[in-house]
Amino acid sequence: MKEYDLFVIGAGSGGVRAARMAASLGIKVGIAESRYFGGTCVNVGCVPKKLFVYASEFAHLPEQAKGFGWDIDIKGFDWQTLLTNKNSEIERLNGIYGKLLNNSGVEVYEGEASLQGQGIVKINNEEVKADKILIATGGWPVKPEIPGADLAITSNEFFFLDQLPKHVLVVGGGYIAVEFAGILNGLGVDTTLSYRGDKVLRGFDEDVRTHLTEELSKSGMTLDLGRSPTAIKPNGEGYTVDFDRGESVNTDLVVFATGRKPLTSNLGLEHTQIELDDKGAIKVNEYFETTETGVFALGDVINRVQLTPVALHEAMRFVANEFRGLPKQGMDYGDIASAVFSQPSVATVGVSEEEARNQGVNVDIYRSSFRALKETISGGQTKTLMKIVVDKETDRVIGMHMVGEQAGEIIQGFAAAIKMGITKTVLDSTVGIHPTSAEEFVTMREPV
C-alpha cells in the first residue's frame, strides 16, 4: 500500500492549490479526481460562463456603433463555433492543471475516491494510506423536487448543448440564473427568467437588486417574478411548465439555476466520524479540521463562501497551518469582493446597507444612478448604479456596490482599499480619472 503525507480528494481549484503548495515543501502528496482537472470553475463554471458572456455581448455592437458613425452588420451567430472554441480552451486549461500537478511531484489518480477509515483512501480498486486527508470535492447543482424535474437541465449541461433552442425558461433568481438568462438573451434566444421572489439576487444590497431587476426587464428577456414551477411535462415539441398560480408556459428547454449543494456523495463518510451541517456541508473548525482526526476539508464542500479565489486562499492557509510549522491561523472571510456577470454586471465588496443597519451600525449612504458616457450618443438606455455605505461614527467605508459595465474590474481595486480601512474622507480626497464611470466613487459628496 502506497503511503502519503497528504492525500487530496478533488482536483478543483482548492485541491490543486493545496496539493501543489504542499508538494513544493517536499511533502509526499497524492490527489484523486473523478471528472476533470480544474473543477467547476474551469469546466462548467466561471471560465466557460465568462466566455459565453463575451459572446452574447457582441449582439449589441451594431446598435451601439451607429451613434459613433459605424455601420456594422452581423450576418449571424454560429453556436457550434463558440462550443468548439470554448471546448478547446477548456482542454488547454485542463492540460495546464495536469502539468502543474505532475511538475510539482504530485501523484495523480484518475477515479472516484472514498474514505475507508483510519487514514485509508480507496481509488477505484486501489487503497492508499495518508497521514492527512483533504476533501475538496466542491459543489453540485440541485433541482427542485417537482414532477418532471429530470426533464430540465442545470448549469452543468448548459455548456454542452448541441444547439440553441428558440425559447428557454431559466428558473432561479441567483447569480447563475441571471448570468445564463443574459447569455441566452444576448445570443438571440427568446428567454424567460422565472423567480419566486419579487427581485433577483436575494442577499445582495436592496438598491442593487432593484436596479438590476429593472435593467433586466428592459433587456428584451421576459422577467417572470413571484411564482414557482410545480411540474414539467413533455408536450411533443418541447415542455409545458406548470406554476403555483395556475398558469403554464410552453418552452423548448428548462434550465434550473436554483442553487448548489456540497458534493459529499460516495465519499465513504459513513466509515468516519465526519459530521455534516443542516445544508449537507462538511463541518470544519477554523483550521479546516473535520470531526475525524487527520481529515480536513475546504472549498465549496464546506459551504462558507462559494468562490474560487476563496478556495485558493483556504488551500494556502491549510498548507501553512499543517506543513510550514507556523502558528495556526484561520481564514479571514471579511470584505471579500464578488461579481455577477449579468448584463449589466454587478460587483460588491463589504456589507450591504441592510446588513449594516441590522448590525446596529449608524450609516451614511451615498448613491448615484446615471447613464455612462458610452450610452449617450449610442442611444443606450442602460443605467449604472454606484453605492457607498459609510459607518457614520468612524467615517470608514464598509461597503461598495456597483451595477454597470466593468463593475468587477472597478470594484476589485476598491476592495483592497476597503480591506485597508479606507475612510470616506480619504475617498473624497482621491482625484478621479476623467472621464470614467469609476470616478463617480470618489466624487459622491452628499449622503442621500
Predicted confidence (pLDDT) per residue in 194-215, tens digit: 999 999 999 999 999 999 999 9
Q: What integer pLDDT is reported at residue 48 of this predicted model? A: 97
Domain that holds residue 411: 338-442
Query: Per this entry, what is the length of the chain?
Result: 448
Distance (Å, whole) CA 326 – CA 321: 6
Q: What is the pLDDT of residues 351-364, one digit of tens each?
A: 999 999 999 999 99
Residue 447 lies in a domain: no
Nearest to 403 by CA among 388, 389, 386, 426: 386
CATH code: domain of residue 356: 3.30.390.30
Mean pLDDT of the chain: 96
Q: What integer pLDDT is reported at residue 443 of this predicted model? A: 97
| pLDDT at residue 398 tops 90 | yes
SS3 content of the chain, % helix, strand, coil (to 5): 35, 25, 40
Provide the CA 269 distance to its chain's centre, in angstroms. 27
- Together in a domain, 380 and 413: yes
Domain boundary, last residue among 219, 241, 258: 258
Nearest to 314 by CA among 13, 104, 100: 13
| pLDDT at residue 268 tops 90 | yes
| pLDDT at residue 148 tops 90 | yes
- Together in a domain, 295 and 438: no
Nearest to 265 by CA among 142, 153, 156, 176: 142
| pLDDT at residue 262 tops 90 | yes
Mean per-residue pLDDT, 138-156: 96
Q: Which of 271, 313, 401, 434 is catalytic?
A: 434
Distance (Å, whole) CA 305 – CA 420: 21
CATH code: domain of residue 36: 3.50.50.60
Nearest to 191 by CA among 201, 179, 208, 200: 179
- Together in a domain, 254 and 217: yes
- Together in a domain, 375 and 420: yes
Residue 248 lies in a domain: yes
Domain boundary, last residue among 205, 228, 258: 258
| pLDDT at residue 439 tops 90 | yes
Nearest to 380 by CA among 371, 368, 392, 391: 371
Q: Rounded to whole angstroms, what are the CA distances from 367 to 6, 338, 387, 394, 442? A: 49, 19, 4, 19, 12
| pLDDT at residue 237 tops 90 | no
Distance (Å, whole) CA 448 – CA 437: 19
- Together in a domain, 269 and 282: yes
Distance (Å, whole) CA 433 – CA 424: 18
Which residues fall within 8 angstroms of residue 19, CB to CB, at 6 or more apart?
6, 8, 11, 29, 31, 101, 104, 106
Count other C-beta atoms under 10 Å from residue 100's C-beta: 15
Distance (Å, whole) CA 206 – CA 225: 16
- Together in a domain, 265 and 133: yes
Distance (Å, whole) CA 409 – CA 245: 41
Distance (Å, whole) CA 448 – CA 445: 10
Residue 184 lies in a domain: yes
- Together in a domain, 366 and 428: yes
Q: What is the pLDDT of residues 62-99, one digit of tens each?
A: 999 999 999 999 899 999 999 999 999 999 999 999 89
Domain boundary, last residue among 212, 237, 258: 258
Residue 41 cell numbers, joined = 470553475
Residue 333 lies in a domain: no
| Predicted model pTM | 0.95
Amino acid (one-letter) located at 383? K
Mean per-residue pLDDT, 275-303: 97
Helix (H) or strand (E) holding 141: strand 139-141
Q: How confident is the model at residue 308 (pLDDT cuts 50, 70, 90)?
A: very high
Distance (Å, whole) CA 22 – CA 399: 35
Count other C-beta atoms under 10 Å from residue 413's C-beta: 11
- Together in a domain, 136 and 10: yes
- In total, how many domains does the chain have? 3
Residue 419 lies in a domain: yes
Q: What is the pLDDT of residues 167-177, one digit of tens each?
A: 999 999 999 99
Cα angle value 146/151/152 (rounded, 5°): 85
- Together in a domain, 120 and 11: yes
- Together in a domain, 12 and 35: yes
Checking 244-248 for CB contacts under 8 A at 24+ apart, the result is: none
Residue 330 lies in a domain: no
Q: What is the pLDDT of residues 363-391, one digit of tens each?
A: 999 999 999 999 999 988 999 999 999 99
Which residues fall within 8 angstroms of residue 345, CB to CB, at 6 or more apart?
339, 403, 404, 405, 406, 407, 408
How much of the chain exceeds pLDDT 90, in percent?
95
Residue 331 lies in a domain: no
Helix (H) or strand (E) holding 135: strand 126-135
How much of the chain exceeds pLDDT 70, in percent?
100
| pLDDT at residue 236 tops 90 | no
Nearest to 344 by CA among 370, 305, 306, 308: 370
Q: Strand (E) positions, 284-396? A: 295-297, 338-340, 346-350, 363-370, 384-391
- Angle in degrees, 0-180, between the axes of helices 79-103 and 46-57, rounded to the nearest 10: 150
- Together in a domain, 131 and 23: yes
Which residues fall within 8 angstroms of residue 134, CB to CB, at 6 or more apart?
6, 7, 8, 9, 15, 18, 288, 295, 296, 297, 298, 318
Residue 103 lies in a domain: yes
- Together in a domain, 119 and 170: no
Q: Is 401 a catalytic residue?
A: no
